[in-house]
Amino acid sequence: MPKALTIQRSTVPSSDRANYAKRLKALRSHYSAANCRFWVFEESSLPGAFIEFTEADDPETLTIAHANAPHKTLDPSRMYQEVEL
């Protein structure tokens, strides 16, 4: 079965950066325990513009992980599946 991925963009004001970092650490811990991978990138030329990627080996694992996450993803149903080349 192909891997599944969700993407979420966030814009975080500098005054909320510390809280956002705490949130990300909680999410990383949650997704790791749920057999998912979680990455966060910040746009180089626009501090505070983040993109979060959550990946699992299958859509069901990712769906369950999002449903149980301590912080909700805005649209977890918008899922991407790996394309076999």
pLDDT tens per residue across span 28-78: 999 999 999 999 999 999 999 999 999 999 999 999 999 999 988 888 889
pLDDT of the residue at 49:
98
CB 5 within 8 A of CB 82: yes
Verdict on whether the full-model pTM lies above 0.95: no
DSSP 79: -
CB 22 within 8 A of CB 74: no
pLDDT tens per residue across span 16-37: 999 999 999 999 999 999 999 9
pLDDT of the residue at 50:
97
In angstroms, how far is the first alpha carbon of the chain from the final one?
Answer: 14
pLDDT of the residue at 41:
98
